[in-house]
Structure 1
Amino acid sequence: MSEQERGEVEGEQPQETRPSESLSAALGQAARRAGLDPAEDATTGKVVWKAMGGVRGIVESVLPLLVFLVSLTVWRDQLVLAVVLSVAAAAVFTIARLAQRQAPSAALGGLIAVGVAGALVLFTGRAEDNFIPGFLTNVAYGSAFLISAFAGWSLIGLAVGFLMDEGLAWRQDRRKRRVFFWLAIMWATLFIARLAVQFPMWLSGTDVQVLGTVKLVMGIPLFAPLVAVTWLAVRALYPPKKAEPDTRESL
């Protein structure tokens, strides 16, 4: 009789993966793919650079919007052309990753986002509506980080718990719980700040080029330092283990 069958006979239920553990695993795997694994021995600069995707990642995130803004500046009121060019710019990166047999997830996600924004612009006929998907994204991420922090289930803590193979044990450590709370608050603040600055500008009819410039400035320039702060805080909680010297005497 197997252990599982024996447990069922004795009245014990088979252990199931809890939703929190599944979420922790998903967040941890996403962080690992982004190069944010505290178990790895890497410099802060290297971690931040990898999290941004290097030169290609930065270009992939910036170029489609830049092309959209420049197109509207050069060819005023040519919304269709601006949308086509921005979607084409995002599509090139996705095709390049597929051709090189690289993971297309980042570029594909960007292509979908640019496509949705472009479709919305063509539907409404308003260039400024290109920013609506970004507003919704900021609301979703900001709310998720904020709620997780005050609920005691920091998304940062869940990801780190999986990466460090301690599961949910961090919730029993007051110091870790406090650090993960404030890290989640900081990330929530980033997304909420973007929304608080850009949404009123959108409502007031601010020029599209100005709003686009503000979005770019509040993108990677704010994201990178926060990644560095998060990395340093987590490494302080989980310092790399030093290899123990070999004390065995040679024969």
Structure 2
Amino acid sequence: MTSLDKPTTTGQDSEGESEGEARAVTEAALFEAFGGVRGMVETVLPGLLFVTIFTVNKDLHVSAIAALTVSLLLVAVRLVRKDTVKHAFSGVFGVAFGVVFAMMTGNAKDFYLPGMLYTLGLALAYIITSIAGVPLIGLILGPVFKENLSWRTRNPGRKKAYTKASWAWGLILLTKCAILFPLYWWADTEHLGWVLVALKIPPFLLAVYLTWVFLAKAPPPIDVFAEVEVQEKAEKERKAAASRGEV
């Protein structure tokens, strides 16, 4: 085979490979940040158990205790397996607040109210931080991508992508609230519970997908951790050279 016959790597091929790597890195980071399939199961299961039991026997106490118990079991499983517990713990706190609130008021629908208020607050946080120029999704994902806050001043393309993603999260969650809060006032516990369970995953997946689309097209993150390591290594070499009288 002559040099003319040998396959060559074009700029387009290199660009395609780097773009594919960026997409893979973005996908992995989003999977880590939001808990993946297991995190979604841990989010849905307690509420699903609550509404299922309440639909069958209309017993608030049994439904609430069952939901809290399964949340604690999910945390225990993660602790035994030495996995990350942040997603399971957030689920426990959410369920615990719902249980306490429902027990205090005696209204089974109030089991869902703390979570609904949290969703509303989170939606507003996404929108307000986007307007303020510090999009919340960037604050969440910056450490995951090892860029911290470098995107704010040094990487305008990523800041723009984070802003778009935060707007997407905020508007999607506001739409979810616009469906749930009227049901809280007008529907019974079973209807509210089943609708809430149905709306757990699809809006979340849509928001994650849009985040992936925006970030996959954005410039790559600036690895500030690697920069710090390079600076520390250079400083050590400078000191070593100074001690040997080379400087």
Tell me the TM-score normalized by structure 1: 0.70
> Could you tell me whether the CA contact under 8 Å between 2:158 and 2:219 is conserved in 1?
no
| 3-state SS in 2 of match to 1:237 | coil
Which residues in structure 2 correspond to 1:169-188 (within 5 Å)? 169-171=151-153, 175-188=157-170
Question: What is residue 195 of structure 2 aligned with on the other side?
Answer: 214
Note the residue ranges of structure 2 that are not aligned, 5 or more in a row: 1-19, 222-247
Tell me what 2:120 maps to: 139
CA drift of 1:137 comes to 0.7
Q: Which blocks of at least 5 consecutive residues in structure 1 are unaligned?
A: 1-37, 241-251
- Cα gap change, 1:159/1:92 in structure 2, threshold over 3 Å: closer, same or farther? closer
Deviation at 1:239, TM superposition (A): 5.2
Q: Deviations over 1:202-245 (max 9, x none)?
A: 112x02121112212222111112212211211211259xxxxx
User: Which of these residues, 49, 70, 75, is aligned with residue 67 of structure 1?
Assistant: 49
Whether the 8 Å contact between 2:50 and 2:67 is mirrored in structure 1 is yes
Separation of aligned partners in 1, 2:89 and 2:25: 29
Count of aligned residue pairs for this structure pair: 202
Structure 1 pair 178–106 and aligned structure 2 pair: CA distance change class (3 A): closer
Aligned residue identity for 1:109 = S
Q: Which residue does 1:27 correspond to in 2?
A: none
Matching of residue 114 in structure 1 with residue 95 in structure 2 = yes
1-structure distance, mates of 2:26, 2:155: 25
- Deviation of residue 59 (structure 1)? 2.2
Name the one with the larger helix percent.
2
Question: In structure 2, which of residues 211, 219, 239 is the aligned counterpart of residue 238 of structure 1?
Answer: 219
Matches within 5 A, 1:53-202: 53-76=35-58, 78-159=59-140, 162=143, 163=145, 165=147, 167-171=149-153, 175-202=157-184
| Contact 2:151–2:159, Cα closer than 8 Å, also in 1 | no
- Contact 1:39–1:164 (Cα < 8 Å) also in 2: no
TM-score between both structures, scaled by the size of structure 2? 0.71
The CA distance in 1 between the partners of 2:196 and 2:77, in whole Å, is 26
Identical aligned pairs, as a percentage?
A: 27
* Aligned position for 1:3: none
Is the alpha carbon distance of 1:181 and 1:74 closer, same or farther for their aligned partners in structure 2, counting shifts above 3 Å? same
**Which AA in structure 1 matches 2:161?**
V
- Relative to structure 1, the CA distance from residue 147 to residue 44 in structure 2 (aligned partners, 3 Å threshold; closer, same or farther) is closer
Specify the SS of the correspondent of 2:217.
helix
Question: Contact conserved, 1:48 with 1:224, CA < 8 A, in 2?
Answer: no
Letter in 2 for 1:146: I
Provide the rounded CA distance (Å) in 2 between the counterparts of 1:45 and 1:168: 20
- Please give the secondary structure, in 2, of the residue aligned with 1:81: helix
Q: Using a 3 Å threshold, how does the CA distance of structure 1 residues 44 and 92 change in structure 2: closer, same or farther?
A: same
Question: Could you give the per-residue CA deviations for residues 120-169 of structure 1, whole angstroms, max 9, x where no partner exists?
Answer: 11111100001111122112211111111111121233445553537345
Q: Which has the larger radius of gyration?
A: 2
Structure 1 counterpart of 2:7: none
